[in-house]
């Protein structure tokens, strides 16, 4: 007999996991996500993706402002779940919540734990230039992603992949891994494996300033920052008084261009012809492909390169 599940998640990353549980006919006692929040310039209330999915399937939905409150704990006890499954819920659950389901609480984490514990594993692994990542399904405890591991799946990261694309890939990978892991765990076929805490690394939450480009860095490092901060908070620089957000780029592989830019000050525009605005870096050259000013729309550089000139400086 399959366990009665309470699902907890909030953003798009969590949607494939809940959908897979529904498709596989796991009994669902309810769904928990964060409250609707104001978004956009007009600050309209935005319904979390998981809330929309729960409403579409008429599932009991809970959006507590304070998941550590006694009121919320009492609501969960009333639901009597056998198992809690979380995926990017966005809040650390207290011990009294974790103790409610008799089979425990599972979490889908978007890294190969113990690497990249924390709030931004997808973004941080790209910023750090990793070529491999994966998902982990773990038993939850009161720590930050410190629980025993039940299952993992690895995946290579293509050089051209950005954070939004990697998030979708890992969300689906975690969703596919979830049902067989639950079945094996409930039937006693999986022995939870403690993490080696000496190997743990932390994926700190991103801030707006995380995306600030330092042109003294190598082209590869800057490219990884652009990949890892897309779409939020976004990598950015300044040209004159204009703040420019960089949406897409590539590392320049033209040996003649790299050679001719070697003596230029980092941040110097060294070419603005063709499909890219090329900028000298501390090492190498980066091709900016898609940019946006604060007052303008997103544009491909082939359509706006004429607004820039050789020798013009980009600054952090």
What's the pLDDT at 39?
79
Reduced to 3 states (helix: H, G, I; strand: E, B; else coil), residue 257 is helix
List pLDDT tens digits, range 235-251.
999 998 899 999 999 99
Tell me the per-residue pLDDT of 40-70, one tens digit each, with 9 for 90 and over.
767 788 999 999 999 999 999 999 999 999 9
Residue 63 burial (10 A CB sphere; 0-12, 13-18, 19+):
middle
pLDDT at 296 exceeding the cut of 90: no
Q: If pLDDT is split at 50, 70 and 90, which confidence band does 86 have?
A: very high
74-83, 101-110, 128-137, 297-306: the lowest-pLDDT one = 297-306
pLDDT on residue 257: 96
Q: Kind and range of the H or E element at 125? A: helix 121-127
Nearest-angstrom CA–CA distance, 45 and 40? 9
Quote the CA–CA distance of 301 and 35 in Å, as a whole number: 38
Using alpha carbons only, give the angle 17, 19, 21 rounded to the nearest 5 degrees.
Answer: 70
Three-state secondary structure string covering 54-80: HHHCCCCEECCCCCCCHHHHHHHHHHC
Return the percentage of the chain with pLDDT > 70, whole number: 99
Domains of the chain: 5-203 (3.40.50.170), 208-315 (3.10.25.10)
Greatest Cα pair distance, the chain, in angstroms, is 70
What lies within 8 Å, CB to CB, of 188 at 6+ separation is: none
pLDDT, tens digit, for every residue of 158-217? 999 999 999 999 999 999 999 999 999 999 999 999 999 999 999 999 999 999 999 999
Residues in contact with 69: Cβ distance below 8 Å, sequence separation at least 6, in sequence order: none
């Amino acid at each position: 007999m399959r366990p009665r599940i309470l699902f907890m998640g909030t953003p798009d990353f969590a949607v494939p996991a809940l959908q897979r549980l529904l498709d596989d006919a796991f009994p669902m006692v309810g769904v928990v996500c964060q409250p609707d929040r104001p978004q956009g310039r007009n600050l309209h209330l935005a319904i979390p993706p998981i809330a929309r999915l729960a409403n579409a399937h008429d599932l009991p939905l809970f959006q507590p402002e304070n998941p550590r409150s006694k009121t919320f704990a009492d609501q969960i006890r009333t639901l009597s779940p056998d198992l809690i499954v979380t995926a990017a819920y966005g809040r650390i659950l207290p011990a009294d919540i974790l103790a409610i389901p008799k089979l425990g609480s599972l979490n889908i984490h978007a890294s190969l734990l113990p690497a990249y514990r924390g709030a931004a594993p997808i973004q941080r692994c790209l910023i750090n230039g990793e070529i491999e990542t994966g998902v982990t399904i773990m038993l939850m405890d009161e720590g930050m992603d410190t629980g025993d591991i039940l299952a993992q799946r690895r995946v290579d990261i293509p050089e051209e992949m950005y954070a939004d694309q990697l998030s979708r890939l890992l969300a689906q990978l975690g969703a596919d891994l979830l049902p067989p892991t639950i079945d094996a765990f409930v039937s006693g076929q999986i022995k939870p494996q403690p993490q080696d805490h000496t190997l743990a690394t932390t994926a700190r939450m991103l801030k707006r300033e995380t995306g600030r480009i330092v042109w003294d860095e190598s082209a590869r490092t800057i490219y990884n920052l652009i990949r890892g901060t897309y779409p939020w908070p976004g990598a950015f620089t300044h040209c004159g008084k204009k703040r420019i957000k960089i949406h897409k780029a590539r590392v320049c592989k033209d040996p003649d261009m790299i050679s001719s830019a070697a003596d230029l000050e980092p941040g110097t525009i060294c070419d603005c012809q063709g499909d890219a605005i090329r900028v000298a870096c501390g090492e190498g050259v980066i091709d900016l492909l898609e940019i946006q000013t604060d007052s303008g729309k997103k544009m491909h550089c082939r359509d706006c390169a004429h607004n820039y000139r050789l020798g013009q400086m980009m600054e952090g």
